[in-house]
Amino acid sequence: MSDTKKFMFVNRKAPYGTVYALESLEVVLITAAFDQDVSLVFMDDGVYQLKKGQQTKGIETKNFSPAYRALEGYDIEKLYVEKEAMEARGLTEDDLLVDVTVLSRAEMGALMDEQDVVLSF
């Protein structure tokens, strides 16, 4: 379809200390209804959004991390994680909730350049 645009969501914040991660997820799910080419990027502290095993009972906050697993069902399958950010946080792909493509900083920059719309959270 010729009017399909490339949308990128750039997630740079950890999940519970601010509302950015949850807000991004909500907007991503809305975007899924419009048949666009959607990519999700997780860099800097955004990588923490995908950490397995989040248990939020103790802070009496909704655990929204299972929703990342549901993205596939909405045809959102392009998830990218920045390699350097993941490693600096002591995380590996095995620590993440979902399958992702790991990109270097330079590759991430190149991917950003290809987009029609970039939304930052």
Partner 1 sequence: MLHIINQSPMNSTTLDSCLNTANGGDILLIEDAVYAATRGSATEAKLRSAMGRFKIHVLMPDLEARGLGDRLMDGATPVDYSGFVELTVSNKTSQSWL
Report the interface residues with partner 1, using CB under 8 A: 13-18, 44-45, 48, 51-56, 58-59, 61, 63, 65, 88-91
For the bound state, the minimum distance from the C-beta of residue 13 to partner 1, rounded and expressed in Å, comes to 8
- Burial of residue 46 (number of CB atoms within 10 Å: 0-12, 13-18, 19+): buried
Q: Are strands 101-103 and 117-120 parallel, antiparallel or unpaired?
A: unpaired
For the bound state, the minimum distance from the C-beta of residue 19 to partner 1, rounded and expressed in Å, comes to 12
For the bound state, the minimum distance from the C-beta of residue 75 to partner 1, rounded and expressed in Å, comes to 26
Tokens representing residue 23 in the block: 């807000």
Which CB sits closer to partner 1, 4 or 61? 61
